[in-house]
Chains A and B, each alone.
Chain A
């Protein structure tokens, strides 16, 4: 009466996986999305700060005295165009066309750099006129909110240049595709934040 040993696998439970894989990319894109959502909360706090302090001019200049809406409109156009060119770059990436992807990414980076350049010009102009962050609560909250967005775009450009070098070196391998998809979300996300900035800060601010 010896104990029977079943062959391996005969009695072992078999699990059937009926659902498709939810995270085909290992969860990177979902994780990056969660990062963007936390970034969104940073901007929410900065918007709330601006909402509370945005009308405290301390007898200094108000938005209506300072803002040049034509410049803001140009900047909005640049960022919107860069969103579209990044989208086209992603479509070219889908077709695995390295050169075209790189070309559209370069255009995107140039548009982003132009955006940051105009914003720095605006900041320089404001500071030259004495509208420094120390001047009033309005200007403090203005510079921290718009500056944080500009800093994000700047880092986005650095990231873009890094990825272009990676793609040039390794081609559109799956890792690089994943990275480009993360940056794509980041870039479009910054455009969404900018909608809030030009509406709440510039348009509503310019009306008094």
Chain B
């Protein structure tokens, strides 16, 4: 009965792929927050990825709403990935991979929520009786 409670936990030196190295006196691991170079790279990319869509829309460069919309949304997706990597330091290894798994799960739910809602409501809207703005305004 007492033998199990006497079980000892022996810490072996970690081989490859262990944690992020020893912490000193409870301080969080050094260098876990990226480098100045990393932040500046992310910043430069973000500035470009922000200015292009604003330029496309404000200058009406492509001259086609649908095409502009697609390009703007694609650039937003790229910028989100840039922020994730350079600012939030997202990778598949931190916290034993759990942050990445949580992110994948969340992205799945976000896509289901967004695509599902818009898809269903669009078809519902199409199958409804048409209503002019005037009727909508004077609805009971």
A contact set with B: CB distance below 8 Å: 8-9, 11-25, 29-30, 33-34, 37, 40-41, 44-45, 47-49, 51-52, 57-59, 69-70, 72-73, 76-77, 80, 83-84, 87-88, 90-91, 93-94, 174, 177-178, 181, 184-185, 188-189, 191-192, 195-196, 198-200, 203-204, 206-208
A-B residue pair count with CB separations less than 8 angstroms:
178
Closest A residue to B103 using CB positions: A37
CB distance from A101 to the nearest CB of B (A): 12
Taking a contact as CB atoms closer than 8 A, the residue among B7, B69, B109 that contacts A12 in the complex is B7
Closest to B100 in A: A33
Instruction: Please name 9 further chain A to chain B contacts, defined as beta carbons within 8 Å, in addition to the given A14-B7, A33-B95, A37-B102, sorted by A numbering.
Output: A14-B8, A17-B10, A24-B20, A37-B103, A58-B136, A58-B137, A84-B43, A192-B88, A195-B83
Please measure, in the bound complex, the distance between the C-alpha atom of A88 and the C-alpha atom of B39, giving whole angstroms: 8
Instruction: Give chain B's interface residues, CB within 8 Å of chain A.
Output: 3-4, 6-12, 14-15, 18-20, 23, 25-36, 39-40, 43, 46-47, 50, 53-54, 57-58, 65, 68-69, 72-73, 75-76, 79-80, 83-84, 87-88, 95-96, 98-99, 102-103, 105-106, 109-110, 113-114, 116-118, 121, 133-134, 136-137
Cα–Cα distance between A178 and B133 once the two chains are bound (Å) = 54
Chain A residues positioned under 8 Å from B133 (CB to CB) = 57-59
Interface pair A199/B10, CB less than 8 Å apart: no
Q: Are B12 and A44 in contact (CB under 8 A)?
A: no
Cβ of B57 and Cβ of A30 under 8 Å apart?
no
Given known pairs A33-B99, A52-B118, the reply for A19 and B33 (CB within 8 Å) is no
Contacting pair A88 B36 (CB below 8 A): yes
In whole angstroms, what is the CA distance A200 to B99 when docked? Answer: 26
Residue of A nearest to B27 (CB): A174
**Which of A20, A77, A207 meets B68, CB within 8 Å?**
A207
Are A9 and B110 in contact, CB atoms less than 8 angstroms apart?
A: no
Residue of B with least CB distance to A8: B6
Option from B11, B20, B57 in Cβ contact (under 8 Å) with A203: B57
Given contacts A37-B105, A80-B50, is CB(A19)–CB(B36) below 8 Å?
no
> Do A51 and B118 touch across chains, with their CB atoms under 8 A apart?
yes
Complexed CA–CA distance, A68 and B23 (Å): 49
Contact of B28 among A177, A196, A198 (CB under 8 A): A177
Contacts of B84 in A (CB 8 A): 192
A-B residue pairs in contact (CB < 8 Å), sample of 26: A14-B7, A15-B9, A17-B10, A18-B12, A20-B18, A22-B19, A23-B96, A30-B99, A33-B102, A37-B103, A44-B110, A44-B113, A69-B54, A69-B57, A76-B50, A80-B43, A80-B46, A83-B43, A87-B33, A88-B39, A93-B33, A174-B27, A185-B88, A198-B50, A203-B57, A207-B57
